[in-house]
Amino acid sequence: MEESRGPLDESGGTMSDDEEEEEDIDDSVLHDMDHFEQTFKNISQRYRLINRIGEGTFSTVYKAEDLLYEHYQNDWDMDAEKENANTNSYKSSNGRSHKPRYVAIKKIYVTSSPIRIMNELELLHDLRDSPNVCPLITAFRHQDQVIAILPFFQHKDFREYYREFTVSDMRFYFHSLFTAMQSVHEAEILHRDIKPTNFLYSPSQQRGVLVDFGLAEREGTDWAQCTCCLDASERNRKISSSVYASSKAAAEAAGQPMPRPSYPKDDTRSSRRANRAGTRGFRAPEVLLKCTAQSCAIDIWSCGIILLTFLSKRFPFFQSTDDIDAFLELCTIFGRNKMKDTALLHGQVLQTNIPNMSTSGHSLEKIILWCNNRHRGDDKSALTEDEQEAVDFMKRCLELDPSKRITAQQALEHPWLAGDSLLGSDD
Write out the residue range of the structural domain in which residue 62 sits.
1-82+91-154
417 occurs within a structural domain: yes
pLDDT of residue 356: 86
Q: Comparing C-alpha atoms, which of 57, 33, 197 is closest to residue 113?
A: 57
Check whether residue 308 and residue 413 sit in a common domain: yes
**Which of the following is catalytic: 79, 126, 157, 193?**
193
The model's confidence at residue 262, banded by pLDDT at 50, 70 and 90, is low
The model's confidence at residue 49, banded by pLDDT at 50, 70 and 90, is very high
Domain's final residue, options 131, 154, 177: 154
* CA–CA separation, 99 and 77 (whole Å): 13
Greater model confidence, 341 or 263: 341
> Any idea of the CA torsion for 111, 115, 116, 118, to the nearest 10 degrees?
110
What CATH number is given to the structural domain containing 338?
A: 1.10.510.10
159 occurs within a structural domain: no
Mean pLDDT of 362-377: 90
Mean pLDDT of 339-352: 90
pLDDT of residue 250: 58
12 occurs within a structural domain: yes
Domain's final residue, options 154, 170, 187: 154
Check whether residue 233 and residue 139 sit in a common domain: no
pTM: 0.85
Q: What is the share, in percent, of the chain residues with pLDDT greater than 70?
A: 79
Check whether residue 228 and residue 146 sit in a common domain: no
Distance of CA 134 to the CA centre of its chain: 13
328 occurs within a structural domain: yes
Total tally of structural domains belonging to the chain:
2
The packing angle between helices 297-312 and 385-397, to 10°, is: 150
The packing angle between helices 297-312 and 167-186, to 10°, is: 170
99 occurs within a structural domain: yes
- Quick one: 61 exposed, middle or buried, by C-beta within 10 A (0-12, 13-18, 19+)? buried
349-355, Cβ contacts within 8 angstroms, sequence gap of 24 or more: 349/244, 351/261, 352/328, 354/328
Domain's final residue, options 154, 177, 200: 154
Residue 326 has pLDDT above 90, yes or no: yes
What CATH number is given to the structural domain containing 95?
A: 3.30.200.20
For this structure, is 193 an active site residue?
A: yes
Check whether residue 240 and residue 372 sit in a common domain: yes
pLDDT in tens, 64-122: 999 998 888 777 776 665 665 555 545 555 555 568 899 999 999 999 999 999 999 99
* CA–CA separation, 8 and 14 (whole Å): 14
